[in-house]
Amino acid sequence: MLDFLHSLNPLYSLSGLAIGALVGFTGVGGGSLMTPLLVLLFGIHPATAVGTDLLYAGLTKISGSLVHNFNGAVDWRIVRRLASGSAPAAAATLVLLSHFGRDSKSVSEVITTVLGFALIVTAITLIFRAWLLRAVAATLDRLDDRRIAALTVSLGAALGVLVSISSVGAGAIGVTALLMLYPKLPTVRIVGSDIAHAVPLTLIAGAGHWWIGSIDWALLASLLIGSIPGIAVGSALASRVPERVLRPVLAGTLALIGGRLAF
């Protein structure tokens, strides 16, 4: 126990504090910010960074999911549709990662490349969300519920692959896609459903990375020590910072980081 306590790193906790505050400010998933920080700044192996961040995300989103459910802001029909696609897709992706070996150069290159492109797509959805919603509104409005359900399952499968490889995608990308598929639902129910789905997805993917040996428990504990108070502080101060300021700054940051990782 004493050895574990000595292995906690205050720099990781400070990073968790900063990322937690940004997540509280912006609502964008921590994976978009935490995983690139661990890889680029601290030199953590990409597979370890992704696996540790997945468990970190799952644990931190449990409380948010419970609050949204208590407030009636979770549509469990959407959650079931997403999970029916994401769970098997995540499992299959993790089996492939295990087969090729988490420490292999090819796996590291795949993870960093997918992470980079995922961050760029996230930045695009943040900047052009309103335009994207208008562009597909007329087409999707003509689809019946059966086709919407099939598209939701497909979205879940895509998120399962993306999140398992990069830990990014369950936040801004997922919410934007759900807003396109369910434009008549209140935004709060879309966000609540996305968070509720992210909990089992990130925990399943995180457990898979644990199985293949991609979890650094001391790193995880260090991040949680800082991020829990950071999210609380960021959420409390969010109303004081205009979204029109935060959104382009965050999107630009993600695009730059994504470009650095992908190319």
Please report which helix (H) or strand (E) contains residue 50, including its range: helix 46-70
58 touches 118 (CB < 8 A): no
Strand ranges in the chain using DSSP code E only, listed in sequence order: none
Above pLDDT 70, what percent of the chain? 86
**How many domains does the structure of the chain reveal?**
1
Q: Report pLDDT digits (tens) over 31-79.
A: 677 888 888 888 888 888 888 888 887 887 777 777 778 878 889 999 9
Question: What was the pLDDT predicted at 252?
Answer: 76
Q: Is 200 exposed, middle or buried (0-12, 13-18, 19+ CB in 10 A)?
A: middle
Length of the chain: 263
51 touches 199 (CB < 8 A): no
Q: Report pLDDT digits (tens) over 202-233.
A: 889 988 888 888 888 999 999 888 887 877 77
Rounded average pLDDT over 120-149: 83
Domain span at residue 71 reads: 2-262
Judge whether residue 27 has pLDDT over 60: no
C-alpha angle 259/111/93, rounded to 5°?
Answer: 140
